[in-house]
Amino acid sequence: MKKRLYILLSIVLILFGILIYRLADIQLFSTKSFGPDNVNLLERSVAQRSHQMVLSTGRGQILSRQGEPLTNKKIFDIILFPKLNAEQTYKKISGVLNISAQSLQKKIHNLDQPAFLTSLMDTSIKSEQFNELKKMDLKGIRLMERFKNEDPQLAQHLLGFVRQNPALYQKRYDENSQKETVPVGISGLQEAFDPFLVAQEQEKLLFHVDGHGRPMFGFDLKYAGDNNHFYPAKIKTTLDVPLQKKAEDLFNQYEVNQGGLVLLDVQSRDVLAMVSRPNVDTENPYGNDSIRNHTITADFPGSVFKTVIAAAAIEKGLVDEPRSFNCSKGVYGEEEADRDLGRLNFKQSFAQSCNRTFAKLALELMESDRQIIDKYAKKLGIIGPVGWSGDVFRYEDFTQIPDEEQGTIWADESDRHVKDAIFQTAIGQKNVKVTPLAAANMMANIANNGKRQDARIADQILYQNGAEMASFSQKNNKDKEQQISPLTAKRLRSLLKLVTGNSGTASTLGELPIAGKTGTAELNIDDDEKIEFENSWFVGYFPEKKPKYAMAVVDLRHKPGAQTHHLQIYKKMADAILKKNE
């Protein structure tokens, strides 16, 4: 029994000795190189007591034409710490911010690490509230200004989205580094200008905490970040925030399921507003193709395309003499038309959108030149792409709208020789597709005496300190062979005004100084005779006498006969702009 006791005591002493040695090794002998992995225990100990709050991902901002940040907006915030007994502080904060003190204290009690108040309570802090809080003696919190990175609520499709995508980062920048975890632009301007906007380094606030996550205020808060005054850059867009908000409010009001709006400045071709529906599913942007921007997607324009046939017919002298067309007949000249319009001259045919007139004119034009429709579509700029492109900074052939689709006229070259195919093409059916952006730009070309220009979404690239890195100067197409004549543009303007007149297809817009063209395209999804969907368009410019704005509004893929609101949206948008400029 005594011998067993000695053996047990010896084992305990040996184990105790091993434990003492292990502790000594950890705390004294191997603090900088512990174990087979040579772990620096001192650094790990500091890291365990350290915490960081990201103030900015470091990504560049996108600005409105007024210089207002549209992404990475700077906000006022408060850092809250867990398990702090600061009841009076939280009551003061609740009083200033007009939030529930009980709810705030409950959420703070459940914290296991520091958090931003705006994220915790899903609220915002105004500048006057922030300044009021700064004057108070608030213990246990930190007042901060930071950049909030979130998906855009305004102009979603135009601005685009940012996501983490290591494979895309490596493909785009061909780098093997930790920067592969940096978020990249996956759509819109975020994608187009990603090389200028991509983050260089995060901005962080570093501090120490105790074992409960509470701050050790004996240590100074430290800032870690990139103090580069040049990068990342800022992109100053042409977007007019009040007009963008007005356009989006109208689309929400009328609950447009699929469609869009483009508003251009006629002289500069700046994109002032761009709306696409449906809204993007932020949880799954590519699900149901919600990330698609319908204003730069080519679709069937219907009678909007008759503007091209009209321009060609005017310049080729087919409508100079008095001439009438049988508009009681359908597009092929054999069947009865859906609308019995009787015999109409060229101007009346355009105003009332007579299919037979433009089918007949297109056939006559094609008999003399099989390329003529293509030529005039190009002269008017309706086929596109029309987004600004050129050399900028260190990039050649830079494109502001890389996802813009190019329109089409013919899918099969043999259709140029098929009468029925020509008839359908003349009225914007068959294989004719254009984007709303290109259609709006065509109207701007006509309103500006036929002068072709690119549509511009960004005006400048600015360094971080606000100095100009590059600008996107507008380029006029000076080749007169590539545009319609001023006289043709003038005659087209008179036709477009008739459309909104008393007998026109958009007479509901007549009380405002608007000129333009309606379009309805019929879509047969299964190649049978049944019409599955329709596209409804109105593209035009205003004010009619001295045009300043060109705009396209489209309601896409709606059921035949369904109530559409594209004309109401156009009217209310134009009315708001005209009243603003009075």
Active site positions, annotated: 303
Distance (Å, rounded) from C-alpha 455 to C-alpha 388?
6
CB atoms within 10 A of CB 393: 12
User: Residue for token digits 């679709």?
Assistant: 299
364-376 in b/e burial notation, b at 16+ Cβ within 10 A? ebbeeeeebbebb
Backbone dihedral angles phi then psi of residue 401, each to the nearest 5 degrees = -125, 75
The answer to whether 201 touches 58, Cβ cutoff 8 Å, is: yes
| 485 exposure class (CB count in 10 Å sphere: 0-12, 13-18, 19+) | middle
Q: CA 570, 572, 575, 579 torsion: positive or negative?
A: negative
For 118, residues 6+ apart whose C-beta sits below 8 A from its C-beta are 75, 77, 78, 124, 125, 148
Distance (Å, rounded) from C-alpha 100 to C-alpha 107?
11
The answer to whether 60 touches 235, Cβ cutoff 8 Å, is: yes
User: Residue for token digits 């003061």?
Assistant: 92
Distance (Å, rounded) from C-alpha 505 to C-alpha 355?
13
The answer to whether 157 touches 293, Cβ cutoff 8 Å, is: yes
Give me Rg for the CA atoms of the chain.
Answer: 33
Closest CA to 155 of 21, 16, 248, 26: 248
In this structure, what token pair is assigned to residue 287? Answer: 């699900």
For 146, residues 6+ apart whose C-beta sits below 8 A from its C-beta are 53, 54, 55, 56, 74, 75, 77, 116
Closest CA to 556 of 289, 321, 373, 370: 289
Q: Supply the DSSP symbol for 220.
A: P
Helix (H) / strand (E) element for 314: namely helix 306-315
Work out the angle at residue 535's Cα, subtended by the Cα atoms of residues 534 and 539, and round it to the nearest 5 degrees. 155
Distance (Å, rounded) from C-alpha 346 to C-alpha 339?
17
What residues does 395 pair with on adjacent strands?
A: 392
Distance (Å, rounded) from C-alpha 144 to C-alpha 579?
41
Distance (Å, rounded) from C-alpha 213 to C-alpha 82?
6
The answer to whether 87 touches 101, Cβ cutoff 8 Å, is: no
